[in-house]
Amino acid sequence: MKKLLNVSFAYAVLAMCGGVFYREFTRLHGFEGQTTLSFVHTHLFLLGMFFFLLCVLLERAFRLSDQKHFGTFFVIYNLGLIVTAAMLAVRGVCQVLGAGLTSGMDAGISGIAGFGHILLGVGIILFFVLLRRCVLKRKKTA
């Protein structure tokens, strides 16, 4: 449970840093308009901090971490979120700086971001499989 709470706190700090970076970086460069930097903050808050706070509550109720594949879920989900947030930041910085990306660079960023989203999706599916097993196990013993 402590590990889940620590990860939640780490994502909260990263989300706040992402928000400050977005605000200050765009202001410093006089950028007005849409940039994917704005999504770094929300992705880290919702998919990081809030998700793992929910996991803390579910851990208390169901002992999710006792499940065989909990470690796999934990690694895949965190990797997916970190890769996704990093690629949002990379694309956002390029947008603010007006860096002309070649089609290969643009495709590379999109591909890596897509891979991050796939990992997040797999992580979410694993999470629901683990949660379902815990609920069914508890139902049998009740």
Q: What is the pLDDT of residues 45-54, one digit of tens each?
A: 999 999 999 9
pLDDT given for residue 5 in this prediction: 96
Q: State the residue range of the domain holding 66.
A: 2-141
pLDDT given for residue 141 in this prediction: 72
Structure tokens at 26: 């765009």
3-state SS assignment for residue 15: helix
pLDDT given for residue 138 in this prediction: 79
In whole angstroms, give the CA distance from residue 4 to residue 35. Answer: 31
Q: What is the pLDDT of residues 15-42, one digit of tens each?
A: 999 999 999 999 999 999 899 999 999 9
| Total number of domains in the chain | 1
pTM for the full predicted model? 0.92
In whole angstroms, give the CA distance from residue 64 to residue 27. Answer: 43
Structure tokens at 119: 């990992």
Q: Which residues of the chain are modeled with pLDDT < 50?
A: none
